Amino acid sequence: MKHIKRLLVLIFLCIVCVAGYFTYRGYQRYEAAVDEISIEEKIGEIKSNPSYTTYDELPKTYLEAVVAVEDKRFYKHWGVDIISVGRAIKNNIQAGKLVEGGSTITQQLAKNLYFNQEQSIERKAAEAFMAFSLENKYSKKEILEFYVNTIYFGDGYYCVADASRGYFGKEPNQMSDYESTMLAGVPNAPSAYAPTVNPELAKERQEKVLRSMVKEKYLTQEQASQIVEGQ
């Protein structure tokens, strides 16, 4: 029994050491990124885009749809959602592979601003530090605004305005509830959910968005059904 306890303690210490190492490496990577170009400068670059769209120019339904399907606890966490991370770890272990990332909207923004798609613990740690920094500097409203102006929607559209114009021929503030909920689902997998690629898959993804909105009480089931029927 003593040997088992010692082994468990040793395993625990190893895990702590490994976690500490990658956290430190992640912090170094975060520092190197902001030393090269500050967060304020990065945000300035985004805002200089002629297609940049402000929070107030976006439909309420679209903003609620994004939060409901991408990061339901967005207004409750400080950049990293420990609950989502724990759930993702559990699901990945059960699946035996990476099936869920647990990234918040703020973490995704951090990745879009500074990091690539590399899947590593070090990069995730750097992303977390960047997310904390973003939350410290900007409001939730601003972070959501920056996010929808930096995500990829497929078909060469890298912000919400270009996607709205490209897919629906409309300015963002003119999108209907149907279009808003469809567009909110695209960034999860643009190569599959872009309306021009596979309309059926895009519709299925939209239905997931609507279910999430109902679950998070942004919509009633009746309102969600009316959105689908009133396309």
- Give me the tens of pLDDT residue by residue for the chain, a chain 231 residues long: 555 544 444 454 444 455 565 576 777 888 888 889 999 999 999 999 999 999 999 999 999 999 999 999 999 998 888 876 656 555 544 445 444 556 899 999 999 999 876 677 777 888 999 999 999 999 999 999 999 999 999 999 999 999 999 999 999 999 999 999 999 999 999 999 999 989 999 999 999 999 999 999 999 999 999 998 866
CATH number for the region 153-231 comes to: 1.10.3810.10
Residue pair 110/127 in contact (Cβ under 8 Å)? The answer is: yes
- Contact partners, residue 73, CB within 8 Å, separation at least 6: 81, 83, 84, 104
Q: What percent of the chain is helix, strand and coil (3-state, nearest 5)?
A: 70, 0, 30
- Contact partners, residue 80, CB within 8 Å, separation at least 6: 104, 106, 107, 128, 131, 132
In whole angstroms, give the CA distance from residue 93 to residue 88: 9
CATH number for the region 1-34+54-150 comes to: 1.10.3810.10
Q: Which pLDDT value is given to residue 132?
A: 94
Q: Which pLDDT value is given to residue 27?
A: 73
Assigned token pair, 3: 């040997």
Residue pair 176/65 in contact (Cβ under 8 Å)? The answer is: no
- Residue positions counted in the chain: 231
- Contact partners, residue 137, CB within 8 Å, separation at least 6: 39, 40
Q: What is the DSSP string of 27-39?
A: HHHHHHHHHHS-H
53: left (phi over 0), alpha (psi -120 to 50) or beta: beta
Tell me which residue has tokens 């107030």: 56
Residue pair 27/125 in contact (Cβ under 8 Å)? The answer is: yes
CATH 1.10.3810.10 domain span(s) along the chain: 1-34+54-150, 153-231
**For the whole model, what pTM was predicted?**
0.86
Residue pair 104/74 in contact (Cβ under 8 Å)? The answer is: yes
